[in-house]
Amino acid sequence: MTDLEFLDRAEAALNAIEMACDRINEDTDADVDNQRTGGMVTLVFANRSQIVVNLQKPLHEIWMAARSGGYHYKWDGQAWVDTKGQGELFTQLTRCASEQAGQALRFSS
């Protein structure tokens, strides 16, 4: 994957996360605040816990930090998959965000 391809796919993932937060805030009472700074999106929940998703450009990875731990994702040609076998980015983000929000939330690409 070239640097440009990585940036296109990674930016699309960050945009999808931001759009999902907007949808969640419209459809639920979860109150997920999302803040974008360059290649990083920070999700802040009502209980003040956070999830940080950021781009690791030199490695062509997306990293996510949540209360449950840190995750590294690489593009496998179809999806962003965890480098240690923990699943797909949006599936894991859904799981972590739901846990931290205390209610079922859904993120998708």
87-109 pLDDT, tens digit per residue, is: 999 999 999 999 999 999 999 98
- Residue 86's pLDDT is what? 86
| pLDDT tens digits, 72-87 | 999 999 999 999 998 9
d(CA 104, CA 93): 12
d(CA 61, CA 85): 14
User: What predicted TM-score, i.e. pTM, was given to this entire model?
Assistant: 0.94
